[in-house]
Structure 1
Amino acid sequence: MFFEYNQNNSGGSFDFDAERGITHYVIVEADDAEHANYRAERIGLYFDGEGDCSCCGSRWSEQWSSDKGNEVPSIYDEPIQDFDFGHKWMGPDSPEAYVHFADGRIQGYGFDVKVLA
C-alpha cells in the first residue's frame, strides 16, 4: 500500500532534498501505517514538529494506525499520474512529489519524471 505525507509549509517554506527524495508530497510504499511512518522517518521526515513554526504548525504529520493507504501512489486519494501539479510550489524544475517504492526506487513527479535510485 502507498501512504501520502503532505508537507505543511511551516514558516512559509517547504523542505526540499532531492538526494533523500523529500519535497512537497512524499509517498511511501509500506505494509501498513506504522511501517510507513518508520520508513518516512528513515527518509528524513519527522513528526515531533521540533523547530517548526509555532503559528503554522508542524511540517509533517504521521499516518494514523487506522489509515489503510492506497493501492497505487496517490495524492488526496487521486492516482499520482492523474494529479494536477499545476501550482508547482517547489518551482518549475523540481518534483512536487517523490514516491519511495518498497524495492528502494525513488521516483519524482511533477512536470518531468526523475528517477533517483
Structure 2
Amino acid sequence: MIQIYHNNRCSKSRSGLQILEESGKNFEIVKYLENIPTFDELKTLIDQLGMPPIDLIRKNEAVWKSDYKGKDLSDSDIIEAMIKNPKLIERPIVINANKAVIGRPPEKILDII
C-alpha cells in the first residue's frame, strides 16, 4: 500500500496529499508527528529513499540550528534526532512498495505512484 508521511500544517505536504487523492489509488496517511517512527522504521525509510540520513533533515528548523548544527553526528545520531524531534523530518514522503520519494516538489510523487 502507498503511504504518505504527512504534516497537515505544511503546504507541500497538503499538495502531495492532493496528488494522491486525485490519483484514485488507495493510500494510508502516516501522521508522523503524532505516531513517531521508530529507529528501524526511519532506517528502512532512509534506505528506500537511497540517501544519507542528513538529507532527510529540515535544516532550517530552529531545533536543528540550536541543538545539532555544526556537531559531528553519526547517521545513528541523526536518526535519533529525528525521533526526538520529528518535525526535523522532511515532508511529504511517499512510499510505494520498496521505493520512496520526498515530495519536493510535490510532482515528484508521480514518479512512484
User: What's the TM-score once normalised by structure 2's chain length?
Assistant: 0.29
> Which of 1 and 2 has higher RCO (CA within 8 Å, sep 6+)?
2
Task: Name whichever structure is richer in strand by fraction.
Answer: 1
TM-score computed with the length of structure 1 as normaliser: 0.28
Tell me which protein shows more helix as a share of its residues.
Answer: 2
